[in-house]
Structure 1
Amino acid sequence: MRDQVRGLVFDKDGTLFDFNATWSAWCHGFILGLAEGDPARAEALAERLGYELEKRRFLKTSPVIAGTMEFVVQAALGVRPEFGEARLRRHIVASTSAAPQVEAAPLIALLDRLRAGGLVLGVATNDSEAPARVHLERAGVIDRFAFIAGYDSGHGAKPTPGMLLAFSAATGIPPEACAMIGDSVHDLASGRAAGMTTIGVLTGPASAEDLAPHADAVLPDIGALPAWLGLAE
């Protein structure tokens, strides 16, 4: 199986970038900023987002983990309807684009090694495409990817397989010769639906026990990919 893999499709949040290290700080600031000093508003928004304010962490059941920006927009709108959807959407896009990303492994060295091994790389994220491109550009790796799609790129959102099938179409690599790498059940379900090998990583909120039923392999992080693929040092 692994010796037939020629294309790798990465989730972004929780896979290329450590989920909690990146998004817990953003969510804490986002909630407090939107609440504008009102503790009741802050608690209401935290509950909607599945976030523990005191512990500064997401619940494992948080819809934010695998959901799209649309969920965050609607959650915020439910607490601050007077802001209006358009204003909230602009604020969320700006704040998520500016959020510092913590790499799950040193990305430049890792991605260059994978490409040197003949692998074609892509990104399929339930984030919007525009912030995703900002994050990849800031990390200095956007040019390592032959394909980048977000939930709003026209291929649908995970767990449907549209983004992954679009990667195959764009690169000419059949799904059975590709692997989907992600930190959530949504990621792996999309890979299975597309007919790809599925690889779970533990740099998101899900545990190995959560991912194992949906994965052909579970790795600690994407830094373990070269060894799993059998790439020479």
Structure 2
Amino acid sequence: MRAILFDKDGTLFDFQRTWGAALSDLMMALAREGGGDPEQVARVTGVDPVARRVLRDSPLVAGTQAETMALLRPLLSLPDHVLLARMAAMAEQVEPVPAVALAPLFDRLRGAGYLLGIATNDQEDATRQQLARLGVADRFERIIGADSGHGAKPAPGMCHAFAAGLDLPSAEVVMVGDSTHDLRAGRAAGMPVVAVLTGLAEADDLAAEACAVLDDIGALPAWLGLPPV
């Protein structure tokens, strides 16, 4: 392996602690503002507004902004520009909760010679802003979002683009993610894939798709065979 391509939400960030309350609250606010039925909005988007959590099978977990818009349009009388503005404001305000201490991990991986990247179904600019707030945006060779022109996972376009940009064969890039979308994208691109359990999927959901299932990305150095610190 010469490079590692990470998903973001549920992989670098603990999904529920980062997005659970923010997404649930946003869906309910949009239901009120758009004249929608809150129970229907909650059911379709897969949120629990009482517990302020995202449900395990929610389409918001691995979906793109465009897919979320498509879910909401039939339920609300809000124009697209309002939906986009509200989602962008939420992404700017959310406080990412790292799954592990990110800077020391990335520095250790880079020090061992690995090139790092991100392929996320979130927007590229929002991803850069979130990583910059944590002081780690500069650790990545490339950050690719669903709006970067390479499609969205589970299609392999982002994975192909990352490997090609580094002039590496896909087999020398490991894809790390928390959902079957991530794993299937990596496999379709010819990459080995590693699953982590800091998203909403459980080990049984991921094991059939992955070369390995780790508790979190902090276990990567040992999986890669790096010596203990």
Q: How does the TM-score come out when normalised to structure 2?
A: 0.95
- Structure 1 residue ranges (4+ consecutive) displaced by more than 6 angstroms after TM superposition: 37-40
- Out of 54, 59, 63, the position equivalent to 1:63 is 59
Q: Which aligned pairs between 1:34-53 and structure 2 lie closer than 5 A? A: 34-36=30-32, 41-53=37-49
| 1:6-62 CA distance string (max 9 Å, x none) | 100000000000001111011122023223389963222111111122232222221
SS at match of 1:79: coil
- Out of 32, 38, 47, the position equivalent to 2:28 is 32
SS at match of 2:73: helix
How far apart are 1:224 and its partner, in Å?
Answer: 0.5
* Distance of 1:150 and 1:40 partners within structure 2: 30
Corresponding letter in the other structure for 1:69: Q
The answer (yes or no) to whether the contact 1:97–1:132 under 8 Å persists in 2 is no
The answer (yes or no) to whether the contact 2:46–2:58 under 8 Å persists in 1 is yes
Which structure 1 segments of 5+ residues have no match? Answer: none
- Out of 157, 162, 166, the position equivalent to 1:171 is 166
- Out of 9, 12, 25, the position equivalent to 2:8 is 12
Equivalent position of 1:145 in the other structure = 140
Corresponding letter in the other structure for 1:174: P
| 1:177-231 CA distance string (max 9 Å, x none) | 1100000001000010011110000001111110000000000000111111111
Equivalent position of 2:92 in the other structure = 97
Q: How does the TM-score come out when normalised to structure 1?
A: 0.93
How far apart are 1:93 and its partner, in Å?
Answer: 1.5
* Distance of 2:68 and 2:27 partners within structure 1: 11
After superposition, the CA RMSD in angstroms is 1.6
The answer (yes or no) to whether the contact 2:176–2:196 under 8 Å persists in 1 is yes
- Out of 69, 76, 81, the position equivalent to 1:73 is 69
1:230 to 1:14, Cα distance in 2 relative to 1, 3 A: same
Which structure 2 segments of 5+ residues have no match? Answer: none
- Out of 121, 125, 149, the position equivalent to 1:126 is 121
Aligned residues: 228
Corresponding letter in the other structure for 2:155: T
Equivalent position of 2:187 in the other structure = 192
